[in-house]
Structures are given as structure tokens and as C-alpha cells.
Amino acid sequence: MAEDPRKIMEMSDDELRFWTLSGNAGTYVFEMGQTEMHMRCSLRMVEASKETAAANRELVQATNSLIGANRGLVEQTKNLVKATWGVVTITFLTQIALIYLTVTRK
């Protein structure tokens, strides 16, 4: 009762399950059906793993892009802090000059 392997591989999942269950445990039909179901499961897992790996690569690229953007934002913030301290220093010196001029003119 050996079936052509191509015929077994062409069966849909439901057909294969029915065909497998139609044989007693340990028979050719049961063993070949189980083997084919395991192979299909393995092939689907391989495809899912490939898709997961591709998604992970995209996620890593997106994360690296965000890291680069955050580094740029940190650098711009540092520059803003320096500029703010420059304004504070100029304001402070201006206030000292105004106080000095006010005190010395009277």
C-alpha cells in the first residue's frame, strides 16, 4: 500500500491528516503521514524564522537610525546649553557694567 511520495506531498493538510489517521499506528500510512506532517511543520518554521530574522534586521536598522537621531539631538542640546551660558554671561556682564556706570555717574 505504498503511496507515491509526490502524491503524499501534494495532499492538502486536511487530506494528509485524514490519510494519516486512516492507518493504524506503526503502519506505512501512519508513519509516512506523520513524517510528511513533521516535514511541513519544519518547513513552515524555517519560513517563519526567516521572516522573523528579516523583521529583526529591520528593527535593528530602525533602532540604529533612532540612536543616530538621538545623538544629533544631544549634540544640538549641548550647543544650546553653551549658547544659553553665553547669553547669561553677556547679561551678567551688562548688568555689572550698568551698575558700575550708575554708581560712578552720581
Residue ranges per structural domain of the chain: 5-105
Please provide the average confidence, as pLDDT, over all residues in the chain.
93
What is the reported pLDDT for 25?
85
Residue-by-residue pLDDT tens, the chain, 106 positions: 578 888 988 999 999 998 888 888 888 888 999 999 999 999 999 999 999 999 999 999 999 999 999 999 999 999 999 999 999 999 999 999 999 999 998 7
**pLDDT at residue 1 in the model:** 56
Give the per-residue pLDDT at 44. 96
CB 9 within 8 A of CB 36: yes
d(CA 34, CA 1): 16
Q: How far apart are CA 62 and CA 66, in angstroms?
A: 6
Q: Cell digits for 29?
A: 500510512
- Which pairs with CB-CB distance under 8 Å and at least 24 residues apart come from 74-82? none
